[in-house]
Amino acid sequence: MEMRAVYAQCLGELMEQDEKICLLDADLSKASGTRGLYDRFPDRTFNCGIAEQNMASVAAGLASYGFKPWIESFAPFATRRICDQITLSIAYAGRNVKIVGTDPGITAELNGGTHMSFEDISVVRAIPGMVIFEPVDEVQLRAAMPVLNAYEGCLYLRLARKEMPRVFGDDYRFDLFRADTLREGSDVTVLTSGYPTADVLAVAEELAGEGLSCHVVNVHTIKPIDRETVVAAARKTGVAVTVENHNVIGGLHSAVLEALAHERIPVYAVGIEDRFGEVGKLPYLRQAMGLTPEHIKAVIKEAASAK
């Protein structure tokens, strides 16, 4: 299933159970997969029109009335465009609002550079108290949705809209504040989130065949980062690589560096090298932005040889 369909289905189920949940859009409910919720819950869905700033502050107002608003837009408009509204109306005012940014990073594909957020995590991470969660696949998203709704506070859900390769099995148990170890290994620690995770696992499998053992951790919650798991994983191999669909400045790489600041452990980065996006399909964009499995593999090997 597409991630947006899973998200909309889960949100619909939650709205059935929890009458406090409201949904707000800025003319992208169809893109987010939630258009159907407007028919099912006409009282608790508000399409604010193309006015993201207003949507964010209106959500804060609803939250001050005890409602639990979820607001949606493409990732850049759900974050950088409304950074001040998130910061003041929502976070500084301590409002319980969920912010959903879709099509993060290169998954924006044909919408191109204007819609391709490589900075959204960085923007949101700088706001005190924010939680940032980026799901890998539908299993993780399904497990997470009730937990996200139950979390009282301001949270950013960085959501790919399209179908994502399955990473987790049906027995998956989700903890919002605990990173998931996907593969035990001894040579190199690889920390990743969201879109590149399946590629990282495939690369780790290939490398195992070549005699290199990867320890792979899915850091689904980038803030607050699970320092304990990240530090233990990095110590285990003595070298780490971060892989992310985001600028290497301000995102997962930075969060991991901060967590490992007192460790003498080198950390290599795979991610967007401080540049803007552009139009293209995923195969082109992965190549152009340095997110191919080949590149991930090369960096992991470089990290292993540097030990």
Partner 1 sequence: MQEDLKALCRDLRCDIMTAIGHLGVGHAGGSLSIVELLAVLYFKEMHIDPARPDMPGRDRFICSKGHAGPAVYAALARRGYFPRDLLMTLNQGGTSLPSHCDMLRTPGIDMTTGSLGQGFSCAVGVALGSRLAGDGATVYTVIGDGESQEGQIWEAAMLAGNKHLDNLIAFTDYNKLQIDDPVALINDIAPLGAKWRAFGWHVIEVEDGNDVDQVAQAVALAKRNRGSGKPTMVILHTVKGCGVSFIIERGCGNHNTKVTEEEARRAVAEIRGEA
Binding site for partner 1 (CB under 8 A): 22, 43-44, 46, 48-49, 51, 53-54, 56-67, 69, 84-85, 87-89, 92-94
Minimum distance, C-beta of residue 81 to partner 1, in the bound complex (Å):
12
For partner 1, the closer CB: 9 or 79: 79
Residue with tokens 């290497």: 248
Q: Residue 125 and residue 146: Cα distance in Å, rounded?
A: 22
Which candidate, 35, 32, 39, 36, places its Cα nearest to that of 3? 32
Minimum distance, C-beta of residue 131 to partner 1, in the bound complex (Å):
18
At residue 8, what are phi and psi to the nearest 5 degrees? -65, -40
For partner 1, the closer CB: 87 or 218: 87
Minimum distance, C-beta of residue 80 to partner 1, in the bound complex (Å):
16
Minimum distance, C-beta of residue 95 to partner 1, in the bound complex (Å):
9
118 neighbors 158 (Cβ within 8 angstroms): no
N-terminal to C-terminal alpha carbon distance within the chain = 41
- The DSSP code for 87 is I
For partner 1, the closer CB: 59 or 239: 59
Instruction: Tell me, rounded to whole angstroms, the distance of Cα 163 from its chain centroid.
Output: 15
Minimum distance, C-beta of residue 101 to partner 1, in the bound complex (Å):
19
At residue 245, what are phi and psi to the nearest 5 degrees? -95, 65
For partner 1, the closer CB: 54 or 114: 54
Q: Indicate the burial class of 20 (C-beta count within 10 angstroms; 0-12, 13-18, 19 or more).
A: middle
For partner 1, the closer CB: 65 or 262: 65
Q: Residue 199 and residue 182: Cα distance in Å, rounded?
A: 12
Whether the CA torsion 252, 105, 140, 29 is positive or negative: it is positive
For partner 1, the closer CB: 59 or 155: 59
Q: Residue 220 and residue 197: Cα distance in Å, rounded?
A: 10
Minimum distance, C-beta of residue 133 to partner 1, in the bound complex (Å):
24
Minimum distance, C-beta of residue 147 to partner 1, in the bound complex (Å):
24
Minimum distance, C-beta of residue 24 to partner 1, in the bound complex (Å):
9
For partner 1, the closer CB: 92 or 151: 92
Q: Residue 208 and residue 113: Cα distance in Å, rounded?
A: 36
For partner 1, the closer CB: 89 or 149: 89
Instruction: To the nearest 10°, report the CA torsion of 63, 65, 67, 71.
Output: -30
H or E segment and range at residue 157 = strand 155-159
